[in-house]
Amino acid sequence: MQTGHSIWRRILFNVFAWTVVLLISFPLLWMILTSLKPQSELFLIPPTILPSEITFEHYQRLLTETPFLTYLRNSLWLAAGTTAVVIVVAALGAHSLVRFSYPGRERLARLVLFTYLLPSVVLIIPLYLFMIRVGLVNTLASLIIAYTTFALPYALWLLRSFMAAIPVDLEAAALVDGASRMRAFIDVILPQALPGIISTALFTSILAWNEYLYALVLVNSDEVRPLTTGVMSILITSFNIEWSLLMAASVMMSVPLIVIFVFLQRFLTSGFGAGAVKG
């Protein structure tokens, strides 16, 4: 009786879970399938699920006839640059918020979180004007600065909970053993905070990789456009949408993220767990 009941529960649970998985993954599957279909098969009614003939011509066209590779390079630079800046600042900042005592420390931490609550649209005009004034408009640096403004608060809070979980004595031991403060941070704190740093880095790079609005406003030449706005500008015009190229581009945009995820997934889940427990 008991076992029969639990089997039904498991079956129901599995049916439900797989339905959700299918619903979520269908657009992705459709994207991959479409990118492999020949042009002639794109608009068939009824549509074919599996392509009758697999072709890589869209990928080839994308790489040879469009500035896709330039966009890809820009996006990689953006993700790497933003992540580097955010991780360095957030790791040091989080350590300071956890370990040092100074007046207004808690208030500062909350203020940082408050900036995160502002919708990014609100900041876009002031940031644009600021970039013009410092002469950074239309550069990758302007986007790195912009992305940092909204990735940093979250990163700071995530890392803060990680750092708080590291025993104070570890750092004290390193100091007594002859390390300087910075050395103790590098030798002892950073290795302990590594899972947190990796998940924060992952979060930041995904954010920078997928960002669209700021990229659209702050940057408008092909030389510095990232993938998100670049792909849109070449493949979607008022007259025509190059569906097969668009799908091929989308697949290629997803690949770097998927690769990173596969390698770092276990850190990411442990990161979310730690954040949750610490509150």
Partner 1 sequence: MTGITFEGVSKRFGKVSAVEGLDLEIRQGEFVSILGPSGCGKTTLLRMLAVLQQPSEGRIWIDGSIVNDVPPSKRNIAMVFQTYALYPHMTVAGNIEYPLKKRRVGKAERAARVQKAATLLQLEDLLHRKPRELSGGQQQRVALGRALVRDPAAFLLDEPLSNLDAKLRAHMRAELIRLHRRLGCTMVYVTHDQLEAMTMSERIAVMRDGKLQQFASPQDIYERPVNDFVAGFIGTPAMNLIAGRLSGTAGDRVFESGPWALPIGELALMDESASGDAERRVRIGIRPEDIMLDDTGDAARVAVVEPAGHEVIVVFDYHGNDIVARMGADVRLRPDDVVKLKLRVDRLHLFAVSDGGRLNDDVAGGRNS
Interaction site with partner 1 (CB under 8 A) = 167, 169-170, 172-180, 183, 187-188, 191-192
Q: Dig out the tokens for 114 from the structure.
A: 């408050």
190 and 91 in contact (C-beta within 8 Å)?
yes
Beta carbon nearer to partner 1, 144 or 174: 174
Tokens 């992705």 belong to residue? 28
- φ, ψ dihedrals at 32, nearest 5°: -65, -45
Question: Nearest approach, Cβ of 106 to partner 1 (angstroms)?
Answer: 15
Rounded CA separation 147/145 (Å): 6
Q: Which is nearer to partner 1, 120 or 192 (CB)?
A: 192
Judged by DSSP in three states, 83 sits in: helix
Nearer to partner 1, 53 or 169 (CB): 169
Q: What is the Cα–Cα distance from 138 to 131, expressed in whole angstroms?
A: 9
- Cis-peptide into 46, omega within 30 deg: yes
Residue 190 Cβ vs partner 1, minimum distance, rounded to whole Å = 10
Assign residue 143 a region: left if phi > 0, alpha if psi is -120 to 50, beta otherwise? alpha
Indicate the SS3 state at residue 241.
Answer: strand
* Residue 191 C-beta: closest distance to partner 1, Å: 4
> Please, what is the minimum distance in Å from the beta carbon of residue 103 to partner 1?
11
Nearest distance from C-beta of residue 165 to partner 1, angstroms: 12
- Nearer to partner 1 by Cβ, of 7 and 186: the residue is 186
**Smaller CB separation from partner 1, 152 or 193:** 193
